[in-house]
């Protein structure tokens, strides 16, 4: 792979290579935008009049509710783990990350069936989760680690001097948190909140199970139930406009926010809690980890064991596990390679055109999987027709869609890693007669091993959980653990779905564990 990388960069100028990569990544979303201006069909008029208001209302309600829920769970738990010492803190700091290993749609059907035939069926009162509020609660329990991970790291790197100054001025611990620590964490909170919003807009399985019509479920309904590709395209275009507004808002909110501790400053030290305060901190951190991971995983194991005892698990699970790991790691390795090229080109080319091109190349993560799938499918159909080659329904199409969707996931840690490498390293390599490619391979890549591993693990976790995109673009008779778990749950085959879901969780736990370790050691 390194040799191939070397040959590519040596034969192409960085400008041409950047243009090719950006075109490959930006064409699908731009194609969706262009299709918005195509003539509408009869179903679009019906949807626009009767269904679109519900899509808007439910999408807005879902994103607002989940954002509030994740902030309320993620920020306090991050502060307690970063700034306080209490019994079980080290274990809880890891348990709080594990909900990342469980896709939201799996937690959705766990809680749906738990109150019907699971561990909580004997409760005197059984709450109804089959509505918007239930979807908000379930998704908040799964997505809060995005807030927790980023803000925990930010709190750990804050200057102890600012908090001590506030203490000397007579501020209470609560006031020091709200007046000093929280404002300094605003850039991290805003950035992680945008990740939560993007995941909400991408979610399909949860809203499908709970009967909540949103933009994503509407895209699937228009395409598969009604056979109206044009309407699906128009819905995707509207959703893309919403995403664009969110991205623009994030840029404006974080444009002038920079809070960093100097190298000579002392970083935040943990304060030991005692008595009821220690108990309260432990319980607060325990609740989201129990609700987001421990209880759902225990219920999945119980159902899977029941299916094994009853002889219902006759499917070749190893086949789907191997297919999932194959497509996840192969696609992730390819994505990380392209992201490394893109990040390095941005490092050596600081012009406005380079910055704009790189931004276009990273549009995909700001788009729900269904939107990416529509753009990729339409593009490959057009290219395949002109070349008389069938790209649709192949692993090439699926890998390409993953590349468009998750490029930013790999690009961001690699760019952050490159920014930590002093330009003097490049200058020293140039004095020794090394060209830019040799500098990258001999100097930067060894120093980026942690960032490369983090990027790889992030993409693997996302691919393991990806559902809408995989459902649309997977090859014929090719299933991943995620698609099979969804299909079994949709067909009310609980034990089979639970077994598949357990494999997803177990496969995702190792990357999540490595990510947590890398996050702590950074």
290 and 377 fall within a common domain: no
Q: 25 and 146, same structural domain? A: no
In percent, the amount of the chain with pLDDT more than 70 equals: 85
- CA 314 to chain CA centroid, Å, is 32
In a domain, 31, yes or no: yes
Q: Are residues 256 and 383 in the same domain?
A: no
Q: How far apart are CA 201 and CA 462, in angstroms?
A: 15
CA distances from 140 to 57, 143, 465 (A): 18, 5, 16
List Cβ neighbours of 376 (8 Å cut-off, separation of 6 or more).
28, 397, 400, 401, 404, 473
67 and 107 belong to one structural domain: yes
Which DSSP helix (H) or strand (E) runs through 272?
strand 271-272
Q: What is the pLDDT of residue 123?
A: 63
The pLDDT of residue 322 is above 60: yes
DSSP line for 319-372: HHHHHHHHHHHHHHHHHHHHHHHHHHHHHH--SHHHHHHHHHHT-GGGS-HHHH
Asked if residue 344 and residue 245 are part of one domain, the reply reads: no
Contacts 24+ apart (CB under 8 A), 317-321: 317/499, 317/500, 317/503, 320/479, 320/480, 320/481, 320/484, 320/500, 320/503, 321/481, 321/503, 321/507
Is 51 inside any structural domain?
Answer: no
Same domain, 131 and 239: yes
Query: Is position 303 within any domain?
Result: no
Task: Kindly state the DSSP code that residue 177 receives in the 8-state scheme.
Answer: I
306 part of a folded domain? no
Partnered with residue 271 across adjacent β-strands are 84
Q: How confident is the model at residue 521 (pLDDT cuts 50, 70, 90)?
A: low
- What does the CA dihedral 254, 255, 257, 259 come to, rounded to 10 degrees? 100
Are both 346 and 472 inside the same structural domain?
yes
Is 415 within a domain? Answer: yes
Predicted TM-score of the model (pTM): 0.81
Domain that holds residue 84: 58-298
DSSP secondary structure of 361-411: HT-GGGS-HHHHHHHHHHHHHHHHHHHT---TTSHHHHHHHHHHHHHHHHH
Which residues sit opposite 267 in a β-bridge? 159
Residues 212 and 353 placed together within one structural domain of the fold: no
Same domain, 109 and 228: yes
pLDDT in tens, 344-387: 887 776 667 777 777 777 777 767 777 788 788 878 887 777 77
For 311, the 3-state DSSP assignment is coil
Give pLDDT tens digits for 220-231.
888 777 777 778
Q: 390 φ, ψ to 5°? A: -90, 105
Whether residue 1 is predicted with pLDDT greater than 50 in this model: the reply is no
| 52: in domain | no
Say if CB 240 and CB 139 are below 8 A apart: no
- Whether residue 464 lies inside any domain: the answer is yes
Both 276 and 324 in one domain: the answer is no
The answer to the question of residue 286 being in a domain is: yes
- Residue 2: pLDDT above 50? no
Count CB neighbours of 118 within 10 A.
18
Q: Which domain CATH number covers 198?
A: 1.10.3720.10
Same domain for 211 and 65, yes or no, is yes
Largest Cα–Cα separation, the chain: 77
Average pLDDT over residues 144-156: 84
Residue 107 shares a structural domain with residue 227: yes
Query: Structurally, how many domains does the chain consist of?
Result: 2
Residue 452 has pLDDT above 80, yes or no: yes
Which of 274, 298, 322 is a domain's end point? Answer: 298
Distance CA 407, CA 22 (A): 11
Q: Mean pLDDT score of the chain, rounded to an integer? A: 80
Neighbouring CB atoms inside 10 A of 160's CB total: 14
């Amino acid at each position: 792979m390194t040799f191939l990388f070397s040959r590519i960069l040596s034969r192409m100028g960085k400008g041409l290579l950047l243009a090719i990569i950006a075109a490959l990544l930006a064409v699908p979303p731009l194609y969706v935008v262009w299709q918005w201006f195509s003539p509408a069909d009869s179903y679009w008029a019906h949807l626009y009049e009767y269904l679109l208001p519900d899509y808007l209302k439910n999408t807005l309600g879902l994103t607002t509710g989940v954002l509030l829920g994740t902030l309320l769970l993620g920020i306090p738990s991050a502060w307690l783990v970063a700034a306080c010492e209490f019994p079980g803190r080290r274990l809880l700091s890891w348990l709080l990350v594990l909900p990342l290993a469980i896709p939201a749609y799996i937690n959705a059907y766990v809680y749906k069936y738990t109150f019907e035939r699971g561990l909580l069926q004997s409760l005197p009162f059984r709450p109804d989760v089959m509505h918007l509020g239930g979807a908000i609660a379930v998704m908040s329990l799964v997505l809060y680690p995005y807030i927790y991970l980023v803000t925990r790291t930010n709190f750990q790197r804050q200057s102890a001097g600012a908090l001590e100054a506030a203490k000397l001025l007579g501020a209470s611990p609560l006031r020091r948190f709200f007046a000093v620590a929280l404002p300094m964490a605003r850039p991290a909170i805003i950035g992680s909140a945008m990740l939560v919003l993007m995941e909400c807009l991408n979610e399909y399985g949860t809203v499908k199970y709970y009967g909540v019509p949103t933009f994503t479920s509407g895209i699937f309904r228009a395409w598969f139930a009604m056979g109206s590709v044009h309407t699906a395209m128009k819905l995707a275009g509207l959703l893309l406009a919403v995403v664009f507004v969110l991205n623009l808002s994030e840029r404006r909110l974080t444009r002038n926010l920079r809070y960093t501790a100097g190298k000579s400053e002392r970083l935040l030290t943990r304060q030991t809690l005692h008595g009821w305060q220690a108990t309260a901190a432990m319980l607060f951190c325990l609740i989201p980890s129990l609700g987001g991971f421990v209880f759902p995983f225990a219920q999945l194991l119980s159902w899977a064991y029941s299916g094994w005892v009853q002889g219902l698990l006759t499917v070749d699970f190893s086949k789907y596990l191997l297919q999932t790991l194959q497509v996840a790691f192969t696609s992730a390795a390819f994505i990380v390679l392209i992201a490394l090229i893109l990040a390095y080109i941005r490092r050596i080319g600081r012009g406005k055109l380079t910055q704009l091109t790189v931004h276009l190349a990273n549009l995909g993560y700001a788009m729900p999987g269904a939107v990416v799938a529509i753009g990729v499918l339409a593009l490959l159909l057009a290219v395949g027709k002109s070349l008389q080659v069938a790209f649709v329904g192949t692993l090439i199409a699926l890998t390409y869609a993953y590349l468009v969707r998750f490029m930013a996931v790999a690009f961001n840690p690699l760019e952050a890693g490159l920014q930590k490498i002093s330009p003097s390293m490049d200058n020293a390599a140039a004095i020794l007669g090394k060209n830019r490619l040799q500098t990258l391979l001999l100097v930067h890549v060894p120093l980026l091993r942690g960032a490369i591993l983090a990027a790889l693990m992030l993409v693997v976790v996302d691919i393991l959980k990806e559902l809408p995109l995989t459902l649309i673009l997977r090859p014929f008779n090719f299933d991943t653990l995620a698609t099979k778990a969804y299909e079994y749950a949709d067909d009310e085959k609980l034990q089979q779905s639970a077994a598949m879901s357990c494999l997803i969780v177990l496969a995702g736990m190792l990357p999540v564990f490595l990510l947590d370790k890398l996050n702590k050691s950074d």
